Structure 1
Amino acid sequence: MIRLMTIILASASLAACSGGNEFAGGGDILTIHGEIGTTDRGAMQPGLEPLFNAYGIDFDSAHAMPFASLADMPQHTVRVAYPAGGETHSFSGPLLRDVMAGAMPEGTMLTITALDGYQRDIELSRIEDHDVILAIRMDGDALNIGGFGPAMIVWPRDTDEALAGMDDSDWIWGVFSIEVN
């Protein structure tokens, strides 16, 4: 009986928080840190933020972005084959340069970290020169943890001639941290 009640309560909690496949809890899904001019949260707390700790990410202050803030920004759509040569999908979210502008970056290099530990350095100028989006939806549905979520860097390689033939190396899915250096 106790096990059944636990399952019922857990299911009800998950259903209440699902919000149509979006992060209804309002927690931050992206943290921008490093050489930035705008901060709205304090230092990384190793005991409470084990993912940052596990990947050696440390900061004294940061700019945090919940799903709702990203969803409230002007949304852009990129229809593109992903992975390269795969099916075409419709990705939507704010332009990454607009997301970064909110943090007022003072450096020129971004270190983007994904949930699986994949890290990629990308020059900020590349983000500014192309309509790269921080996708939070694919084919209309929120990007989920366990899939490509909570956010994914998507390049318009099918419509931007300068990106033609681009491989998937800079297509980071599961993005949760961006450090500005």
Structure 2
Amino acid sequence: MAAAEPLPAAQGPVLLSLTGNVATTNAGERADFDMAMLQQLPQHELTTETPWTEGAHRYSGVLLRDLLARVGASGERIRALALNQYHVDIDWATAAGLPVLLATHQDGEAMKIRDKGPVWILLPLSDMPALNTKQHHEMMIWQLRTLDIR
């Protein structure tokens, strides 16, 4: 999907909103996505261990860079904000250069709030051990709610 294509309105519960420097919106100055809309974007999988889970799990969802491209986002950094107001700033180069997954499913099941969902930012820690650092762990926000493009 090209960023120029209109973004339909979310029909289900909004899982993720993009604000800030976003060219294509569907809710005023925001781009809101429900589960069906996220699943219409190219889907990716990774199997990885994390510091917060037992063993390796299979996660699926959309790559951050694909989501940013869909809404025509541009900027220098992305503020990721969780439901509990925890936030972290992600450098644009990191978002563009790494396979940052916005996971919506774990082991084939939609992720629930109590299980770090409905959206969890993940990195392939098992495949790319150099990413298994405190700095990258802090970026892996669960219960993600908003991406503010700055």
TM-score by length of 2: 0.85
More helix by share: 1
Q: Which runs of 5+ in 1 are unaligned?
A: 1-24, 43-60
Q: Are 1:132 and 2:103 matched, yes or no?
A: no
For residues 53 and 104 of structure 2, the distance between their equivalents in structure 1, rounded to whole angstroms, comes to 22
Conserved in 2, the CA contact under 8 Å of 1:30 and 1:176? yes
Unaligned runs of 5+ in 2: 1-10
Aligned AA (1:137) = H
Deviation at 1:103, TM superposition (A): 1.6
Identity score, percent: 30
Alignment coverage as a number of residue pairs:
138
Runs of 4+ displaced beyond 3 Å? none
Displacement of 1:131: 1.0
SS at match of 1:126: helix
Q: CA deviation at 1:40?
A: 1.2
Contact 2:50 2:125 in 1 (8 A): no
Match of 1:104 among 60, 63, 72: 72
3-state SS of paired residue (2:93): helix
Q: Which structure carries more strand by proportion?
A: 2
Aligned position for 1:66: 34
TM-score, length basis structure 1: 0.71
Deviation for aligned residue 1:161: 5.3
Match of 1:166 among 133, 141, 144: 133
RMSD: 1.6
Is residue 112–residue 175 contact of structure 1 (8 Å, CA) maintained in 2? yes
